[in-house]
Amino acid sequence: MIVDQHVHSLYSFDSQADLKSYADFDNRVLMTSEHVELCNSAHEGRDDIPDFAALHSQGQELAEELGIEFVMGMELGYAPDCLSRFLPLLDEFPNAVALLSIHQDEGTDFALLGNSTSRYDRHDFCARYFSRVQEAIGALGRHCRILSHLDYPFRYRHIDAAYVFDEFSEEIHAILDSCQALGLAVEINTKSMFKYHNLDFYELLLEALEEHHALPITLGSDCHYAKDWHSHWPEASALCATHGKTKYVRFHCDGSSQLQPVI
Ligand SMILES: [Zn+2]
Ligand SMILES: [Zn+2]
């Protein structure tokens, strides 16, 4: 079974899940990827930075007791005005697995913008978003290991995936090229696929990834409750394999990584 490498516990501002509930005995690992949201528009503009020192010591202690490995992850929500404030965190925990996420536009989370972004027609909306993704990769990509949920704004403003991949094929392939150049894995996010009904987007993303053989993938449930951990794993693993992605990249606590079979 693939390791779930996008997981939130009570160290994230929007989860109450117990760290221990994510002990993966099959893979002998305990991993979470807690939110770092600076100027968090989904939380009255405050800086949400987990207590990583406490997480690190609790995670280590727990993993030792259970005889498994603790891997600390952080999901960095790209905030163009706060870039310098990410760096001390990354310096302090150089082996943490950083996920790069683009949650906002002009300082407001897409979850809050929802359909109010209709001041932009669908073309301009997509064009703005994909250029933000490139900007985020340029700014923080070299510090990160995973590009998370590329469909994020389409969770909240539905735009037909066939339109997105037809019209923005060049931009999407350029993003995948940037990921490859920086060694960023591309996440297949099961919460997006099933809870937010963006399965079509991920089918087309996996099709696009067929042209990027060397680009690794990861799987993330993006769960905030232990009950959603590994959500829809068999369907997602099978879909990856169908598109020739028979391996995913697994990260370890010492910063190393290895390719493992998806099924
Ligand atoms: Zn996210
Ligand atoms: Zn997340």
Residue 71 lies in a domain: yes
Give 6 Cα–ligand 1 centroid separation in angstroms.
Answer: 9
Residues 187-228: tens digit of each pLDDT: 999 999 999 999 999 999 999 999 998 999 999 999 999 999
Residue 38 lies in a domain: yes
Residue 159 lies in a domain: yes
Q: How far is Cα of residue 24 from the mean position of the Cα atoms in its chain?
A: 19
Residue 62 lies in a domain: yes
Give 101 Cα–ligand 1 centroid separation in angstroms.
Answer: 6
Res. 239: pLDDT tops 90:
yes
Q: Please provide residue 153's backbone torsions phi and psi, each rounded to the nearest 5 degrees.
A: -65, -25
Residues with Cβ within 8 Å of 85's Cβ and at least 6 positions away in sequence, in order, are 38, 47
Read off the pTM.
0.96
Ligand nearest to the backbone CA of 100: 1
Amino acid at the residue 86: F
Give 127 Cα–ligand 2 centroid separation in angstroms.
Answer: 23
Residue 61 lies in a domain: yes
Residue 9 lies in a domain: no
Res. 62: pLDDT tops 90:
yes
CATH number at residue 105: 3.20.20.140
* Mean pLDDT over the full length of the chain: 95
Give 101 Cα–ligand 2 centroid separation in angstroms.
Answer: 8
Please tell me the distance from the alpha carbon of residue 74 to that of residue 84, in angstroms, as a whole number: 16
Give 157 Cα–ligand 1 centroid separation in angstroms.
Answer: 16
In the chain, the number of structural domains is 1
Give 120 Cα–ligand 2 centroid separation in angstroms.
Answer: 26
Q: Considering just the CA atoms, what is the radius of gyration of the chain in Å?
A: 17
3-state secondary structure of 49: coil
Res. 119: pLDDT tops 80:
no
Ligand nearest to the backbone CA of 149: 1
Res. 82: pLDDT tops 70:
yes
Ligand nearest to the backbone CA of 40: 1
Give 65 Cα–ligand 1 centroid separation in angstroms.
Answer: 30
Residue 121 lies in a domain: yes
Give 62 Cα–ligand 2 centroid separation in angstroms.
Answer: 22
Taking CA atoms, 126 is separated from 10, 43, 91, 111, 221, in Å, by 33, 25, 33, 15, 24
Residue 7 lies in a domain: no
| Terminal C-alpha separation, the chain | 6
pLDDT at 118: 65
Res. 117: pLDDT tops 70:
no
pLDDT at 115: 67
Ligand nearest to the backbone CA of 78: 1
The domain of 231 spans 19-261
Residues 149-190: tens digit of each pLDDT: 999 999 999 999 999 999 999 999 999 999 999 999 999 999
